[in-house]
Structure 1
Amino acid sequence: MSKYEAHEYFLNRECTWLKFNERVLREAVVPSNPLLEQLNFIAIAASNLDEFFMIRVAGVKHLIESGIKHIDIAGLTPRQQFAAIQAMAHELVHTQYRYCRSILTRLRDKGLEFVKVQDLTAEQNRWLEDFFTREIYPVVTPMAVDSSHPFPFLASLNLNLAVLLRKRDGAVKTAILPVPSPVIRRIVKVPGTKNPKQYLFLEDILAAYAERFFLGCDILEAVPFRVTRDADLDIDEDVEDLLAEVEKSLKKRKKGAAVRLEISQSASRLIKEFLRKELQLEERDMYMIPGPLDCQVFFSFLSIESDETLRYVPFRPQPSFELAELGEPDLWKAVSARDIMVHHPYEKFETIEDFIHLAAMDPDVLAIKQTLYRVSSKSPIIAALATAAENGKQVTVLMEVKARFDEENNINMARKLEEAGCHVIYGIVGLKTHSKITLIVRREEDGIKRYVHLATGNYNGKTARIYTDIGILTANPLIGADASAFFNFLSGYSDPPEWNKLAVAPLNLRERIYEEIDQEIAWAKAGKKAVIQAKMNSLLDKSVIAKLYEASVAGVTIQLIIRGICVLRPGVKGISENIEVRSIVGRFLEHSRLFYFYNNGKEDVFISSADWMPRNLNERVELMVPIEYAPHKKRIKDILSLYLRDNTKAYHMEADGSYQYVSGKPADETVQAQEYLQHEAEQRRRRLHQEKEGPLYR
């Protein structure tokens, strides 16, 4: 182990993720965010935390139970990790509900109010009685718990009521009432209310009418609770039918061991202990909730009728300004003329969907090859690929059916493609295919030509409106040759070729990163300017971080923009004094992976599907793409520079793993990167619209 790999130079992965979710949650109290958007950040943080418990906390629990002597990158044992996680998670939940109460109070002043059943008027109670009788009572099945009725299996993340009741003979019993929120909307609008508009939570209605399910009993208590279970799939890839194995594992997901119990803080000690023991949890696995359980419910509240000032000003992604500048309506000729860069969500993802649809309909297109990791359930891309196959084209799709929480959707999409005649590959044994690439093979007058799309983000039109990502359309023959070799490597038995341009994980991407860092180290030692700028979602790979420490000691200036997990410690004397880490959290989720190396003025620029994490570099099929077209190199350099100047949505990381909100001095210009990129896209459209007319510019 090198001196740069000592435990004291690294932070715990799970704790740095919780720090990230703290930054997400902080957006719920940023005054410049409209109130309903603040509530949306509460929901995002809650959703993040659910997945964290289902996967990461469950994993740490497995390590503890296995007795394996595992030490993490920061030198912590599983028990030490678990103790740190629990302390931070409990504090995070406390903060979440403090923010939530504040937002709901302010929303009431804006005409949107959550009320209790006991606060309703006589007329409203008559309506509620009818609503309960018609809508709720028929679908709810009470579940007694006693010697003849064992504790029922409760699916992960489903909301329930724990009911304590007294029978006529004086015996105190327990029962479960499942809240039917999957089939009945959980936020119920009280009719006839105008200012403020009033809403009820479904679980509050069910609790108020609990006695209807237990006639002849006195209800002593009815409190909401929710169980979170281990959801990590254990997939045996050494099977004949991977698809069937994934489907079998999916059925087990909601039946994993309990890892967390959330319960209303009003619950009695009796109910809490009853549930804890039945679910085989420790005291510290219980979260006392001072408000509505499962704040993801507020995602649906964002679309209610309300004052428009309560939401962000609507933003419409703009057409590709580079295509508009070219003024070439024939997309094949446009991409042949020069590479086209598209920056989502500021520019339309429809540009990419149209590219694939055009290929599907073009009689001169012979083949389409594409990797898909996460696709939307109503994807125009899936429809275009199916049409292409039906039109007689050779269509090959590598559909990653092990994409976590998208497995079922991806299986359904894969079957649709197979039914249409596409050749579908379900991934490579031992690896997830996370690369984003499309290859179009077209017959033209001068022979066969390849067109390629490469990107940092998924082929998902839904997330492309809220994630920042960059894609390149190119007809570069060297990249086209690499793309063909890449798909042959994925689908057949081909040995990896000598790549012309692309770096491919797990084959040579790690080594290419090392080469670029070593290059900067050499320039720094020669007394030359040496700079590394890197933007990614997560930084976790120990060896890459050690290489960055080596570069820092050599005098390389390193500026990192890491949205989420970062176990590197910046600013450690003698180790990382030349490393700055910042995080941007805003309206859009920062997802693009961008890399810049000064290289003595030659400036090596890359986009990639891969974060610098062991799983990306060792266990996934990933791509890193050199950007050589000068205007695109400048665009990416400008984007990185903009993020490094952001003094509105940025956080600066300290050596201890804490983050400080970056705020400019009073005299400084306010810089908000995402807002700037929005305005820039809109201004480009207006300027081009004045200069030209036509379908490309509308």
Structure 2
Amino acid sequence: MRELSQYLNRDLSWIEFNRRVLAEAQDPDTPLLERAKFLAIVSSNLDEFMSVRVAGIQDQIKAGFKKVDFTGYTPAGLWKRIMKRTSEMVAEQYKTYRDVMRGLSKEGIVLRSIEELSAAQEKALQEYNAEIVFPVLTPMAFDQSRPFPLVHTRELYMAVLLRREGDPAMEEPYFAIVQVPSILPRFVEVPGRKNSKKLEIILLEELIEKHIDMLFNGYEAISVSPFRLTRNADLTLNEEGAEDLLEEIEKELRKRRRGLPVRLEIAKGMDPYALAVLQEELEIGENIIQIDGPLDLSSLMKFASSLPGRENLGYSPIVPVYPFEFEETEDMFEVLRGRDVLVHHPYESFDAVNDFLLQAAEDPDVLAIKMTLYRVSGESTLVQALANAAEAGKQVTVVVELKARFDEERNIAWARQLEKGGCHVVYGLVGLKTHAKILLVVRRETNRLRRYVHVGTGNYNGNTAKVYTDVGLFTSHPVIGADASALFNEVTGYSSPYEWKAIAVAPSGLRDRLFELIDREKEHALAGRPAHIIAKMNSLSHQDMIDKLYEASQAGVKIELIVRGVCSLRPGVPGRSDNIRVISVVDRYLEHSRLLYVRNGGDEEAFISSADWMTRNLTRRIELMCPVFDPNLKRSVINILRSNLRDNVKARELQPNGSYARVRNEQPPFRSQFESQDITTWKEPV
């Protein structure tokens, strides 16, 4: 029997995370449309996992790399386990999909097949196809005179086998593909039957298949099968040799369209000849997934979000409250001169961040604005405010991270818009992603300059702030302000190593600062004093960090970790990690905040951060961790952490064997996200 490693494998741990997302779709207590959304998230997550993590493992296998990683796996051995577990998860996902669709049918939302439609409905859909769908479609043939068409990653296609009309004896069928246009609704509404209140829908690919002969005049289709290809999405950048990083990334994005195939999804029952053509031309090996149902369930997200009058099938909407500290003033700077302010999204409105920047852009006494942007929403008030500030003559510097995966094109567009508006746009340091979330405003006040700072755990994105839990700190603390200035100087210019007074910055010192804090708790424990660490993050996979936590546990430090996704630490192992508890909360909102509490012998400290405890965050990214000095706000951070730890409805606890079990205890039901809608649960000391 294989001896258990000290560590859980990062990729297998990720699969466990996606299973927890799937469990929300399987939970009958989750509203039906929310279950559909969770199914969509499972698909989107798996797409990214395949195009990045699995693609990297396949590259290692092709290169003949056989070294065992620190969790005990070779690339080939890991690949086999990943394929087995993801295949099992996909089978569960489609079983759940069928269950959800049965539930929706009982509620009057019915997915039909073509054969189930009335003559009147078929006629209406025939008109829709002729007027809306057919003009958008492009048949792409493959034969001796025409090369195999480019198949875009993560797009839905139909493989079509044809024969000439009246020529049934042909040896080999003709082959063509048709892309299912993603610009059109995947779920097509069917005109209702007379005296029926049901909402009837049909899949777009079924409609296309029904009328496929319209695309091939003189031919008849003998087989039509959906398929979907996932390509390697990693960018290979030569940052040092690139004269213009923006142009280099645009070039690599074009290459991404032709990235090596990683996974081929096909409809169950695909014609063997069609599959053989795809395998040969796409040069795809073993990773072929047969799907018993519609390919690409990520489209359920848009469908479930666009059904008016079905509020009873989803979560009750909540309206984020405006932070009460800013509610009765038009001068946020005046508030911040007297106190710091902590905001907790999505329970508190992101409008406070927008208003802070808008006020800075319009204030004649503001001299400079500096900001990092990692992922920005499609309609960004922030970008327009920055451009307006620059046009008003203020010094505006924006560090735009062009390498934010899958947001590269959007960020390139924002960078160009900001440059056009007169902002100084910087693309960060070679070899490092700028992942820190910080906004600095420099203002002239009574013959002196004062710095105002916003530091966040999440992106400056108004859309994700409605569905991600994140924390932001507004402050005019002079030490934090000085550190913020030094950080921007390092990123945008040349600067000698700076001795940080308050914040800790990766890759130069954040890891060491975290080690210091853990070691200090260890010393408290060894001296017989109570020692306690609570940390909240998205992922934990840094081997040295895990070893440091093991050391602290062995010294008697109580360690409670709230890790939403990947966790390579194995808790509850006698003699090594028996003082460590790990939970994961998966619920309505995506848990995204990175928070840290250390007891410090009674002189408690709390921090907010942009960084997960992963190798990439601590060694290959510009990240920051900022202390919360205000005693009341420090208590608020601790209350948020303790609220997560009390969750016995949506929390799962990591077991020593790597599995997760729902937290069950004798306490009254406590669902941390729902309890946090009442901000007094964390803004007032418990």
Same fold (TM over 0.5): yes
Contact 2:225 2:271 in 1 (8 A): no
1:502 and 2:503 correspond = yes
- TM-score for both structures, normalised by structure 2: 0.96
Paired residue for 2:361? 360
Q: CA deviation at 1:183?
A: 3.0
- For residue 144 of structure 2, the aligned residue among 134, 147, 165 is 147
Q: CA deviation at 1:213?
A: 2.4
The one-letter amino acid of 1:253's match is R
1:17 and 2:14 correspond = yes
Written as runs of structure 1 = structure 2, the 5 A alignment for 1:116-195 is 116-167=113-164, 168-169=166-167, 170-171=169-170, 172-193=172-193, 194-195=196-197
User: For the residues of structure 2 that align with 1:377 and 1:335, how far apart are their CA atoms?
Assistant: 29
User: For the residues of structure 1 that align with 2:379 and 2:178, how far apart are their CA atoms?
Assistant: 31
Contact 1:535 1:562 in 2 (8 A): yes
The one-letter amino acid of 1:572's match is V
Q: CA deviation at 1:681?
A: 6.3
User: For the residues of structure 2 that align with 1:135 and 1:217, how far apart are their CA atoms?
Assistant: 23
Paired residue for 1:343? 344
* Partner SS for 1:8: coil
Q: CA deviation at 1:614?
A: 0.8
For residues 328 and 217 of structure 1, do their structure 2 counterparts lie closer, same or farther at Cα, with a shift above 3 Å needed?
A: closer
1:415 and 2:450 correspond = no
1:48 and 2:69 correspond = no
Question: Which runs of no fewer than 5 residues in structure 1 stay unpaired?
Answer: 1-5, 686-698
Q: CA deviation at 1:446?
A: 4.4
Q: How many residues align?
A: 675
Paired residue for 2:211? 209
1:442 and 2:439 correspond = no
Q: CA deviation at 1:126?
A: 1.3
Contact 1:179 1:206 in 2 (8 A): no
1:220 and 2:228 correspond = no
Question: What whole-Å deviation, never above 9, does each CA across 1:648-675 have from its counterpart, x for those lacking one?
Answer: 110010111111112334xx31100000
Paired residue for 1:304? 307
- For residue 276 of structure 2, the aligned residue among 273, 277, 281 is 273
Contact 2:113 2:206 in 1 (8 A): yes
User: For the residues of structure 2 that align with 1:209 and 1:651, how far apart are their CA atoms?
Assistant: 48
Q: CA deviation at 1:73?
A: 2.4
* Partner SS for 1:469: strand
Residue range with higher mean Cα deviation, 173-182 or 122-131: 173-182
Contact 2:175 2:274 in 1 (8 A): no
Q: CA deviation at 1:214?
A: 2.8
Structural RMSD (CA): 1.7
The one-letter amino acid of 1:246's match is I
Contact 2:432 2:622 in 1 (8 A): yes
Paired residue for 1:694? none
Q: CA deviation at 1:290?
A: 1.0
The one-letter amino acid of 1:678's match is Q
Written as runs of structure 1 = structure 2, the 5 A alignment for 1:581-660 is 581-660=582-661
- TM-score for both structures, normalised by structure 1: 0.94
Q: CA deviation at 1:282?
A: 2.2
Question: Which runs of no fewer than 5 residues in structure 2 stay unpaired?
Answer: none
User: For the residues of structure 2 that align with 1:176 and 1:553, how far apart are their CA atoms?
Assistant: 63
* Partner SS for 1:232: coil
User: For the residues of structure 1 that align with 2:668 and 2:31, how far apart are their CA atoms?
Assistant: 22
Q: CA deviation at 1:280?
A: 1.6
Written as runs of structure 1 = structure 2, the 5 A alignment for 1:68-79 is 68-79=65-76
User: For the residues of structure 1 that align with 2:294 and 2:521, how far apart are their CA atoms?
Assistant: 52
Contact 2:51 2:234 in 1 (8 A): yes
Contact 1:7 1:74 in 2 (8 A): no
The one-letter amino acid of 1:252's match is K
Q: CA deviation at 1:191?
A: 1.5
Paired residue for 2:535? 534
Question: What whole-Å deviation, never above 9, does each CA across 1:21-49 have from its counterpart, x for those lacking one?
Answer: 01011111222321001100000111111
Paired residue for 1:332? 333
User: For the residues of structure 2 that align with 1:339 and 1:615, how far apart are their CA atoms?
Assistant: 31
- For residue 57 of structure 1, the aligned residue among 49, 54, 62 is 54
Paired residue for 1:242? 245
Paired residue for 2:482? 481
Contact 1:322 1:341 in 2 (8 A): no
Identical pairs, percent: 47
User: For the residues of structure 1 that align with 2:330 and 2:139, how far apart are their CA atoms?
Assistant: 63
Question: What whole-Å deviation, never above 9, does each CA across 1:508-563 have from its counterpart, x for those lacking one?
Answer: 11100000010011111111111111000000100000000011111111110000
The one-letter amino acid of 1:554's match is A
1:386 and 2:387 correspond = yes
Structure 1 segments (4+ residues) deviating >6 Å: 681-685
Residue range with higher mean Cα deviation, 202-211 or 267-276: 267-276
* Partner SS for 1:9: coil
The one-letter amino acid of 1:196's match is K
Paired residue for 2:259? 256
User: For the residues of structure 2 that align with 1:266 and 1:321, how far apart are their CA atoms?
Assistant: 59
Question: What whole-Å deviation, never above 9, does each CA across 1:237-263 have from its counterpart, x for those lacking one?
Answer: 012211110111111112101111111
User: For the residues of structure 1 that align with 2:679 and 2:543, how far apart are their CA atoms?
Assistant: 38
